[in-house]
Amino acid sequence: MSGPHLADGDLETAMAWEPFAGDRGPRDLRVLRDSLVVARCDHACHECGGAITTGTKHRQRVEASEDGLGSFRWCHVCMLAHGRAVLGISG
């Protein structure tokens, strides 16, 4: 069924979370897209593998690097956790 629903403000907070901080050096990487989008079909979350169902607001990030194009999506559950991390709330 549907997951937790976040207010737009919560989603904006979650957008401040840096997905790959520390994972990568300053490589030649360009963020082509990093925005809140509405799913036009079903997707899987990059982080937890959970379903992002059609019509759900979620985060989509598209990057171009030396490895090619990378596309990542995060579901509401993960965005909740990201928002808490941004605010410094653990658990």
What is the spatial distance between Cα 78 and Cα 85, in angstroms, rounded to a whole number?
11
Does residue 39 interact with Zn ion by CB under 5 A?
A: no
45 binds Zn ion (CB under 5 A): yes
Among 16, 31, 32, 48, contact with Zn ion (rule: CB under 5 A): 48
- Considering the rule CB under 5 A, would residue 79 count as an interface residue with Zn ion? no
Residue 68, Cβ neighbours under 10 Å: how many?
7
Stretch that binds Zn ion, among 14-22, 33-41, 43-51, 64-72 (CB under 5 A): 43-51
In whole angstroms, how close is the CB of 91 to Zn ion at the nearest point?
17
> Number of C-alpha atoms within 13 angstroms, CB side, residue 54?
3
Please, what is the angle between helix 76-87 and helix 8-15, to 10°?
Answer: 70
| Contact call for residue 47 and Zn ion (CB under 5 A) | yes
Sole residue written with tokens 């549907």:
2
Which parts of this chain interact with Zn ion (CB under 5 A)? 45, 47-48, 50, 75, 77-78
